[in-house]
Amino acid sequence: MRHLMVKLKYDGRDFCGWQVQDGLRTVQAVFQDALWQVLKENVPIRGCSRTDSGVHADEFCVSFSTSCTVPIERLPLALNAKLPPDIAVFDCVTVPEGFHARYDCRGKQYRYLILNAPLRDPFRHTRALWYKYPLDVALLDAQAQDYLGTHDFSAFCSAGSDVADKVRTVTQCGVRRLPDTPEMIEFTVTADGFLYNMVRIMVGTLLEIAAGRIPPDSIGEILASRDRQRAGATAAACGLYLHRVFYDPLSSMTIL
């Protein structure tokens, strides 16, 4: 048996998230079908996360074990030949036996894109949130620093989550205008884990601070309250990207 991990990227607009759901198009179902066509065997696959409907991924990791002898260097091309245009494999690595893309993950980085322009762009409406009012990026970046550290993020978790422990550690957080496209604003956040809709609520809270509906310097109080009603609205899924996935160094991992 060989133990492998592939890295995907996908445009989430026509997917109902990662996890298989009866009668719905999901990333897991589409990828598993392509994998079967290449490997000629049904293998359990383990995704690194459960992205929601409409959410994108710049890097999504999937681990599995196989007895297939297709050379590792040929797997990305072989899989991409069976995948639709909105999903692609861009890397493949070997991993130790027992490796799990989700449970061995040490952290993730998300980014959220906002088109900050007076007029909407039809080519970006499924890939960024359109916000037509001027935004003070320096203010938003300063407010975002209050997310840093170890906190109970209950106020930034949507109802329906079955996770009991809502404490997470945020190690990086920031807001900037992209240098080459200044109308695009990027919010990035890195943490050891994320709750249901956590990033989208973080963004929604910053936008409500920008709009004056939540006072500046309130994020610390919102965190301490653990009250979802105190935080901002959940920002639309279209602007959210799983950007990077982090693992401990693995000496047996061979990166192509």
Give the catalytic positions in this structure: 52
**Which amino acid is residue 207, in one-letter code?**
L
* CA–CA dist 6, 90 (Å, integer): 8
* CA–CA dist 67, 25 (Å, integer): 28
Residue 40: Cβ-neighbour burial (10 angstroms; 0-12, 13-18, 19+): exposed
Give the ranges where the chain is alpha helix by DSSP (H).
Answer: 27-39, 75-82, 137-144, 198-210, 219-225
**Which amino acid is residue 239, in one-letter code?**
G
Q: Which residues of 157-195 are buried (b: 16+ CB within 10 A; e: fewer)?
A: beeeeeeeebebebeebbbeeeeeeeebbbbbbbbebbb
Backbone phi, psi, residue 25, to 5°:
-85, 115
